[in-house]
């Protein structure tokens, strides 16, 4: 079973491969990408939270945030707080959180909010695609088992 599980990291690697400008090689961009994906993961699964169903607090909170380099850590922290509070089950044992957390960042990154938010939204959107693809896969599997 476990070898069939695909990793979200592949999505990032795919983007990095397709990119010719060197945009995705910057660690800060990678971080923004994974935090974006993590934010989407938290939004998705808080909809099915056992503690409070169809919870949208994090989604509303994120709507009022400026997405820039300084704010990334805060977005990550709040997302993590909601993950714990709402006892969320994120795919692959919170793989995206680990990816976001493990990406190192150099301190002197003077990178514009436009670039950061582009990566953030890219990760956000890719996670949606990823989780849809995974859902389709598991639905197929259930059919086969029937």
Interacting residues with another protein (CB under 8 A):
20-23, 40, 43, 56, 59-60, 62-63, 112-115, 117-118, 121-122, 124-125, 128-129
CB of 19 to another protein, least distance (A): 10
- Going by C-alpha positions, the residue among 109, 122, 136 that lies closest to residue 39 is 122
Which of 23, 80 has the CB closer to another protein? Answer: 23
Compare residues 105 and 111 and give the one whose CB is closer to another protein.
111
Distance CA 43, CA 56 (A): 7
Structure-block tokens of residue 48? 């099915």
142 is written with which tokens?
A: 């259930």
Q: Indicate the residue among 7 and 113 with the shorter CB distance to another protein.
A: 113
* Cβ–Cβ under 8 Å, residues 100 and 76: yes
* Nearest distance from C-beta of residue 7 to another protein, angstroms: 20
Closest approach of another protein to the CB of residue 143, in Å: 26
Tokens of 140: 């197929």
């Amino acid at each position: 079973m476990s070898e069939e599980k695909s990793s979200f990291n592949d999505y990032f690697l795919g983007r990095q491969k397709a990119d010719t400008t060197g945009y995705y090689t910057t660690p800060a961009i990678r971080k923004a990408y994974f935090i974006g994906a993590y934010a989407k993961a938290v939004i998705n699964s808080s909809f099915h939270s056992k503690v409070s169903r169809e919870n949208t607090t994090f989604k509303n909170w994120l709507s009022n945030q400026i997405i820039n380099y300084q704010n990334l850590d805060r977005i990550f922290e709040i997302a993590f707080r909601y993950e714990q509070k709402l006892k969320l089950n994120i795919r692959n044992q919170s793989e995206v959180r680990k990816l976001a957390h493990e990406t190192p960042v150099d301190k002197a990154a003077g990178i514009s909010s436009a670039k950061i938010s582009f990566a953030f939204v890219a990760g956000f959107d890719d996670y949606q695609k990823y989780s849809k693809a995974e859902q389709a896969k598991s639905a197929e599997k259930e059919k086969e088992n029937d």
